[in-house]
Structure 1
Amino acid sequence: PPHPDGPVSALVARSSDLGQSHDTFTLVDSGINDSYQHRDGETYGVVQHRKYNNLAVDPNDAQQVYRAWEKRVRGVDQGPVPGWGLGCPDNCAPLRSKLAISTDGGDSWSEPIDLLDAAGMDDVFGLALPRMVVGSDGTVYAFAQESRDRGSEEPDRLFMFTSTDGGQSWQGQEILEGVAEYREPEASINHSNGHLYLTWSQRGDSEENPSSVVFMASTDGGESWTEPTDITDEPAERGVNQYLPGISVAPNGRIDVAWFDYRNDPFFTGGEPGSMGTTVNERFWDVYYTYSTDGGQSWAPNMRVNDRLNDGNVGVTFSNQDIRGPIAVGSTSATAMFAWPDARAGGAQEDVQDVYFSRVRHDGAAATAASDGEAEGLPGWGWALLGAAIGLLIAGLVLVVTVRSTGLGRRQTAPA
């Protein structure tokens, strides 16, 4: 029978009228069409999950589009689900970072490229979803978190892959040794000077630490990086968690970062760091924001941009509180814009979830939040800029990748 952990296919929705209408079609249809030879010598049938997707476009060639995804495979020969299994032993097949290229604005795509194989990095077991940016010179940068063999106790490293020939060849290098627990980084680039920026959430040297949002930068094309810096201003001793930041760079160089933040959760219990999925001390979250006007050397005080707490126990959710995917962030020189999943229209018994929008206006002296969830009066180009955080604006086309599961089960959210 169908199963929610069954094959997941990638879809593209493309619009030529700034999102008023869309054409949707399947990029790749997944199925039980793969196998993996485990270290125990057995060959297992697996289903493919093209679950998390990321898009980037060459700023000088609107037809040159890059799509990256995480190839996640699940075993079908073992496990508790009749006909599916889904109990592949010891992380039997690694996560792999895949990438495909379109030279016609998304009409057609190349065969998948495995980043580890392309870079000749056979010693790395696996990689999670790569996040991509394209520089003004056409250089493609892809950043991916390591996915180690489940038997390993070493922290996951962070890798950068680069291509200077339109994705035909790739070079890879480690840029961070890794920490005890962190989530996949989000990337952005300043097109005026080529500076690269990364942000992610991490717990530091211990899985018992609270999760914070950190930032690091490179001014030399990724050859060297600043030390990761915590950009939240909540005292660490409170143990409050912040997760899954999104990032964008304005044309004037301002760096905008926003994330899920539990500092105002009335259920929070000090001294008991929680994790996504807990019900005792982690349930209600806000969207918080900060910005930097000096390339990440200093950051503004954190600002709440939503108008009410979001109840993680309501709406489309995993284990009551689990959140998936970064906040969407878009930037103009005068405005930072945000979108997030919001279940205020539903209730405890309903899987109702909407996308809410807010913005912060920068007048040169101060930042002012408009956190009423309204989008009235926002011009079409404003929505297009925000959409660039969750899709692409390509020569008048809005191109968005989503996923389709062939199984039946509760609806799920995923990174845009």
Structure 2
Amino acid sequence: MWPTSRTHYAGRRVERAVAIEDLRRAAHRRLPAFVAEYLEGGAEREVTLARNRDAFSQRTLAPRALVDVSAVNLSTTLFGQTLPLPLVVAPTGLNGLLTDQGDLRLAAAASQAGVPFAQSMVSMATIDAVAARLHTPHWMQLYVLRDRDFVLHLIDRALAAHCSALVLTVDGPVYGNREWDRRHYVRPAVLGWPSRIETLAHPRWLADIWRRGRGPRFVNVEAFTGTRMSAPQTAHWLRERMDASLNWNDLAWLRERWPRLLIVKGLLAADDVRRAIDAGVDGVVLSNHGGRQLDLVGSPLDLLPEVASFAKGRIALLMDGGIRRGSDIAQALALGADAVLVGRAALYGLAAAGEDGAARALAILADELARTMALLGRPSVNALDETIFACEAEPRPATTNGRRSVRVA
């Protein structure tokens, strides 16, 4: 008899989470609505947000039988360094709103898993503090502001902290129209009263966030401005100073000033990848910013085969967007990615249970990837290629994404 109802585990014992969705449900129970919306939401109708997930359902896998998979090897080489897992923790901002010292806890989980950690420019921990938590590669993400002195300041601090890579995000010349996020505010940086009152229903979250007697702040921005601002105020300050004139000449300028690995994140056109290669970058991340910038664009997964046909082996080819399963990682690698960046999946764990939750999220993805590879009959990452797919599935109608609630019981 099929059970009359199925429920995901959403409790505090993260070891009981068996899938990323369990951690997502637990995160939603703990977070106030405005924070959960920031974590989950996308731009406008959120079509791209849905496409990122749908892309992983379009292909049919074709397992090989009678292959020795007694020892599945998940390790890969990225930028000349061996990693135990083809995964990078993506740069994400405002993690201090998910849990106290969120960036440090997420970095510690990445270090425990042995994978690189990309720190966001709008993280809520200093570059030095994150570096102290890491025993794995430390990447620093950059948005370019009109004030180039800020860019040079951040570069100097990243070099001093021994960051091995700079990740330039290029898909944010203006802020995406995240309508559902905006509805929580009466004006920029000011929460409406319904959202304020709803927040009071989450005392455990409030006690955690304010345990140090102050809310989280963008300390790397404050180090440059010398001005103490609340997180919403600083976010507004940054939005007003984004450089919408950023162009290929600026990439050349940055290449001259950054002597280590340079990665460009946010490309969605093959011709742009070619130009990035010609500009001397070391890697690119195919990305639509998690569906949070321009709606109606395609999934990075679908662009991978075309880009891999000319970029594979010349630069590191990375992608992000919608990864929730180990089988998603396997598909990305088979289509040409050298590794994937994981954002929301790790943040669900972080929001649910701090460092332990983030570590559990990464462990779930690793376990699922190993199981997927074994069942496919591919005992190593290098054996993942387009032969894992059967004939292409018939195209499915585009998802019509009605509004979902960010609150999960």
Instruction: Give the TM-score normalised by structure 1.
Output: 0.29
Higher relative contact order (CA 8 A, sep 6+): 2
Instruction: Give the TM-score normalised by structure 2.
Output: 0.29
Which of the pair is proportionally richer in strand?
1
